[in-house]
Structure 1
């Protein structure tokens, strides 16, 4: 898998843990930005994520994918692998 995958997280967020688990199951390398209590990084994430402030926020090749539910929806639809291989 060659896509650049980035994920903004909080260390204790169950949705973040679940989204990272899916990526790990697929053997995807990803860059994690743990933004626990970091207001500046949260603002940067929100700007990249079109105003979304919840975590996780996931990007594949700089394209905003969304959060945990969104990445699992892509997986169920059979679309995630093609994004990860692009």
Structure 2
């Protein structure tokens, strides 16, 4: 599994993350209610986007809420 970006189309923060991580898979949470539920689970219920999921070396994942790089 690669990097996943949960966000919404047209959000400037999501757009910045997508530009910085062009190989990441983008998941539009507005277009898929199940994706929104998954994003909320991953973020501990926080409704901030984007939520970026990075694969970890141990087979798990690291979750980043928001995107501050390149601001």
Q: Of Structure 1 and Structure 2, which has the larger fraction of its residues in strand?
A: 2
Tell me how many residue pairs correspond in the alignment: 65
What TM-score, normalized by structure 2, do the two folds share? 0.74
The corresponding residue for 1:63 is: 62
Moved over 2 A (4+): 37-41
By relative contact order (CA 8 Å, sep 6+), the higher-ranking structure is: 1
What TM-score, normalized by structure 1, do the two folds share? 0.63
The corresponding residue for 1:53 is: 47
Unaligned runs of 5+ in 1: 76-86
CA RMSD between the two structures: 2.0
Higher gyration radius (CA): 1
- Whole-Å separation in 2 of the counterparts to 1:47 and 1:22: 24
Q: Which sits farther off after the overlay, 46-55 or 10-19?
A: 46-55
